Amino acid sequence: MAKVRRLQQKRGWAWTTVVAIVKPTLLAFTKRDWVDGEKVPATGGCVVAVNHISHLDPMTLGFFLYENGRLVRYLTKDALFRTPVVKHIVTDAGQIPVRRLTEGAASAFAAAVEAVQQGECIGVYPEGTITKDPDGWPMRGKTGAARIALTTGCPVIPIGQWGAQDILPAYTLRPHVFPRRTAHYMAGDPVDLSDLMGRPITNAVLHEATDRIMGAITELVEELRGEKAPAVRFDPRSSGVTEIGNPRKKKRG
């Protein structure tokens, strides 16, 4: 697939290493269906908000954005920063640690705001984890992406994806590489939050912005799947499903 635009940023050793390994691997074992990647801003601070369906997502999204001229900084679980070898890569690549379901998430928010203000592209999975929706649809979102956007005034670019779950099913370690499966990505227009900008960032405003972001992502996923999403987004808490981790894994009693 032809590159849409060239990367303008300096990669550093970590990104150079990751690209050298991940890009040829994905080219060899996956197919790509990429739509409207040029809607991701070529420069300037922005948030890309994406649905989460597989542990492969950071690699396929990173590839999609890289080939459209952007290096992405993820808000990623802090365990990676304590993992041998990996911790050096994620640190040099500028990834941002998040302590999920703790007050420590505030430091990740501050780091994300600073990165956007410095003109960087922040990747956020608003669901906070792989979707727990039984049919893989985007579920209820958290307010992080909205809070970053409303604080900085940066655009939020919704991205829908589908297919990564066929390559590496959720909560499994064995990828399905033959026959090659397709990772579908579609970028949308910036989510319209103009009427919310400049207002006090209350819970009501955050939830309204988050609902718009998740709605935009869901519309893109609907187009990729050729199906209609449920009228009500899945909510793990009200459904009695654990918010993070494998929902099918039995708890130890």
Contact 107, 33 (CB under 8 A): no
* Neighbouring-strand partners of residue 30: 181
pLDDT of residue 99: 73
**Residue 195: is it exposed, middle or buried by C-beta count within 10 angstroms (0-12/13-18/19+)?**
exposed
Task: Tell me the whole-structure pTM to 2 decimals.
Answer: 0.91
pLDDT of residue 3: 53
pLDDT of residue 253: 44
For 150, phi then psi, to 5°, come to -70, -25
pLDDT of residue 105: 67
Q: What are the 10-residue block averages of pLDDT along the chain, 253 residues in total?
A: 71 90 94 96 97 95 95 84 82 80 72 95 94 96 96 98 96 90 98 97 97 98 98 91 70 47
Go through the domains of the chain in sequence order and give each one's CATH number.
32-172+180-232 (3.40.1130.10)
Length of the chain (residues) = 253
| 3-state SS class at 191 | coil
pLDDT of residue 5: 79
pLDDT of residue 179: 93
Give the span between the Cα atoms of 223 and 22, in whole angstroms. 27
* Neighbouring-strand partners of residue 76: 97
pLDDT of residue 252: 47
